[in-house]
């Protein structure tokens, strides 16, 4: 996975550009690509600094987590509810979520909908 170049390096490249070097010359001097130096300069003009954006991680689960109490209440009232039914109930509330989003929501809580009444519990995988 890629990693953002340090803020210190970005600051030094931008200081060299402010000191009179072109973006390409500053990039060559510090061993970064010319496109990075150009992009950092544009970002500095636009935002006032050239800080890297956050990389990776889950940035969207907060949307569904805000509705966790109502989703869990739906499951509590009807234990055999399907993901499509939950999706439809949320759509009635004005919340548009995908089936995969709901799947991950329940996976984070280790909630499964498998009917395991007649099967012995597995010793290798968690079951409900």
- Render pLDDT for 49-103 as a digit per residue (tens, 0 to 9): 888 888 877 777 888 999 999 999 999 999 889 999 999 999 999 999 999 999 9
Segment 37-54 mean pLDDT: 91
Which sign, positive or negative, has the C-alpha torsion 71, 77, 80, 86? negative
Question: Using 50, 70 and 90 to split pLDDT, how confident is the model at 112?
Answer: confident
Task: Report yes or no: 22 and 37 within 8 Å, Cβ to Cβ.
Answer: no
Q: How far apart are the C-alpha atoms of 49 and 10, rounded to whole Å?
A: 9
Domain annotation covers residue 88: yes
Domain annotation covers residue 37: yes
pLDDT of amino acid 127: 63
Domain annotation covers residue 74: yes
pLDDT of amino acid 1: 45
Q: What is the pLDDT of residues 17-29, one digit of tens each?
A: 999 999 999 999 9
Domain annotation covers residue 13: yes
Q: How far apart are the C-alpha atoms of 120 and 7, rounded to whole Å?
A: 55
Residues 36, 65, single domain; the answer is no
Domains in the chain, number:
2
Domain residues for the domain of 15 are 7-47
Residues 100, 67, single domain; the answer is yes
Domain annotation covers residue 39: yes
pLDDT of amino acid 76: 92
Domain annotation covers residue 119: no
pLDDT of amino acid 4: 85
Which sign, positive or negative, has the C-alpha torsion 119, 82, 75, 100? positive
Domain annotation covers residue 41: yes
Residues 67, 97, single domain; the answer is yes
pLDDT over 80 (residue 116): no
Whether the pTM exceeds 0.75: the reply is: no
């Amino acid at each position: 996975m890629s990693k953002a170049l340090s803020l210190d390096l970005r600051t030094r490249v931008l200081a060299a550009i402010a000191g009179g070097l072109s973006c390409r010359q500053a990039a060559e001097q510090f061993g970064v690509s010319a496109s990075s130096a150009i992009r950092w300069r544009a970002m500095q003009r636009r935002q006032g600094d050239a800080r890297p954006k956050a990389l990776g991680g889950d940035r969207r689960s907060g949307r569904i987590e805000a509705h966790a109490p109502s989703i869990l209440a739906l499951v509590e009232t009807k234990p055999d509810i399907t993901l499509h039914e939950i999706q439809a109930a949320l759509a009635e509330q004005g919340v548009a979520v995908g089936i995969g989003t709901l799947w991950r929501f329940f996976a984070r809580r280790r909630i499964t909908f498998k009917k395991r009444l007649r099967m012995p519990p597995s010793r290798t995988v968690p079951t409900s």
